[in-house]
């Protein structure tokens, strides 16, 4: 395809309240011995907020452009993505069909919110393997099409080229805020799960010609798988925009906080407590806490130079999830 220097406009719904705040974290900075700023994407303003809202603006926009009448996606019972995706579909006037792995469980956290939406149909795979959701989504799409519906399917976590566009645009927003504060940030740290957020940031930093490093802390996938997904998704996002950057972004993925998916870690719990005590910010135990644990560890090793931006990605409902027996 022919690439240009001006990004192509993509269909986009209005969900988030933007820009989200970029705030200094002075007490946390003192504790870690580095300058830390927090990009508060837990305050995106749709539902209970979170980074997935930015992706959903483009995904719902794409679904509308395709004249879809039902969104099909899936994940775990405590998936922030699933809850927000279903809510976005409902507010856009579509139905929502979600596939969750495992067996039915008592509603709490995100699942409690999901169950409160009568327009949302929930099915379970009956298998604890997360990958069973993928086949479940495909089956639901086939069933809906045979029934005359127009489904729009999105995989686990919303990790897609279209979803990554949310953080391509967020890069420009962040750059503008850093300029306003007079801050030259050397790196941006975030939790990396389905990889769409980091892929969008990688694409956005490449377009901006930024030398800032985008550091993802993997919380659910092997590092090599994350790297491959980020390369694919960032390239896909740029292709959707019809542009080709003249430089490459600096980015990496670390697996030092991987642990077990969906489970809190001791290092994450300690990091979360530190951020709550110093800045009054609650980090979710599955994503944000582990990403902060990675930053704490790197700062302790002396591996961080210059100011750091930490992406607070939200996930507040998981703080109220029943994890007994998980």
Q: Are residues 221 and 292 in the same domain?
A: yes
pLDDT 10s digits, 74-91: 999 999 999 999 999 999
59 in a structural domain: no
Q: Return the pLDDT at 93.
A: 97
Q: Are residues 78 and 32 in the same domain?
A: no
Q: Are residues 204 and 265 in the same domain?
A: yes
Q: Please say which residue of 118, 149, 180 terminates a domain.
A: 149
pLDDT 10s digits, 290-323: 999 999 999 999 999 999 999 999 998 998 887 5
CATH number at residue 112: 3.40.50.1100
Q: Are residues 100 and 228 in the same domain?
A: no
- Structural domain count, the chain: 2
pLDDT by residue for the chain (326 residues), tens only, comes to: 334 457 899 999 999 999 999 999 999 999 999 999 999 999 999 999 999 999 999 999 999 999 999 999 999 999 999 999 999 999 999 999 999 999 999 999 999 999 999 999 999 999 999 999 999 999 999 999 999 999 999 999 999 999 999 999 999 999 999 999 999 999 999 999 999 999 999 999 999 999 999 999 999 899 999 999 999 999 999 999 999 998 999 999 999 998 777 788 999 999 999 999 999 999 999 999 999 999 999 999 999 999 999 999 999 899 888 754 33
Q: Are residues 140 and 197 in the same domain?
A: no
Instruction: Tell whether omega for the bond before 19 is within 30 degrees of 0, i.e. cis.
Output: yes
Q: Please say which residue of 122, 149, 176 terminates a domain.
A: 149
314 in a structural domain: yes
224 in a structural domain: yes
DSSP string, 229-279: HHHHHHHHHHHHHTB--SSPPEEEEE-TT--STTS--HHHHHHHHHHHHHH
Two tokens at 84? 């927000």
12 in a structural domain: no
90 in a structural domain: yes
Q: Are residues 123 and 184 in the same domain?
A: no
- As a whole number of angstroms, the distance between CA 151 and CA 73 comes to 10
Q: Are residues 110 and 164 in the same domain?
A: no
Q: Are residues 41 and 190 in the same domain?
A: yes
Strand order across the beta sheet in which 22-24 lies: 22-24, 36-40, 307-312, 185-192, 213-218, 250-254
Q: Please say which residue of 93, 119, 149 terminates a domain.
A: 149
Q: Are residues 299 and 180 in the same domain?
A: yes
Two tokens at 315? 């996930």
| Torsions phi, psi for 233 (to 5 deg) | -70, -40
56 in a structural domain: no
Q: Return the pLDDT at 5.
A: 59
203 in a structural domain: yes
217 in a structural domain: yes
The whole domain housing 226 covers: 22-51+160-320
Q: Are residues 34 and 176 in the same domain?
A: yes
Q: Are residues 109 and 215 in the same domain?
A: no
């Amino acid at each position: 395809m022919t690439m240009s220097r001006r990004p192509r406009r993509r269909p986009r719904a209005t969900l988030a309240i933007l820009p989200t705040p970029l705030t200094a974290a002075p007490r946390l900075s003192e504790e870690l011995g580095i300058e830390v700023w927090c990009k508060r994407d837990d305050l995106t303003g749709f539902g209970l907020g979170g980074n997935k809202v930015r992706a959903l603006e483009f995904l719902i926009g794409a679904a509308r452009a395709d004249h879809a009448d039902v969104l099909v996606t899936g994940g775990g019972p405590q998936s922030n993505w699933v809850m927000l995706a279903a809510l976005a579909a409902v507010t856009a006037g579509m139905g929502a069909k979600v596939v969750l792995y495992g067996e039915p469980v008592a509603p709490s956290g995100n699942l409690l919110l999901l169950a409160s939406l009568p327009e949302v149909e929930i099915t379970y795979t009956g298998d604890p393997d997360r990958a069973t959701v993928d086949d479940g989504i495909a089956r639901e799409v086939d069933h809906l099409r045979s029934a005359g519906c127009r489904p729009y399917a999105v995989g686990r976590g919303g990790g897609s080229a279209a979803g990554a566009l949310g953080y391509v645009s967020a890069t420009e927003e962040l750059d503008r805020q850093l300029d306003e504060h007079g801050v030259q940030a050397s790196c941006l740290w975030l939790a990396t799960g389905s990889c769409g957020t980091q892929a969008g940031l990688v694409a956005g930093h490449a377009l901006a010609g930024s030398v800032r490093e985008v550091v993802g802390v993997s919380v659910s996938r092997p590092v090599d798988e994350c790297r491959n997904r980020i390369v694919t998704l960032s390239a896909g996002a740029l292709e959707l925009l019809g542009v080709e950057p003249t430089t490459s972004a600096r980015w990496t993925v670390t697996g030092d906080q991987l642990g077990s998916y969906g489970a809190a870690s001791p290092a994450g719990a300690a990091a979360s407590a530190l951020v709550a005590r110093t800045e009054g910010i609650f980090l979710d135990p599955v994503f944000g806490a582990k990403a902060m644990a990675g930053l704490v560890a790197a700062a302790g090793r002396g591996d961080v130079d210059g100011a750091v931006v930490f992406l607070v990605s939200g996930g507040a409902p998981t703080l109220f999830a029943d994890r007994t027996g998980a």
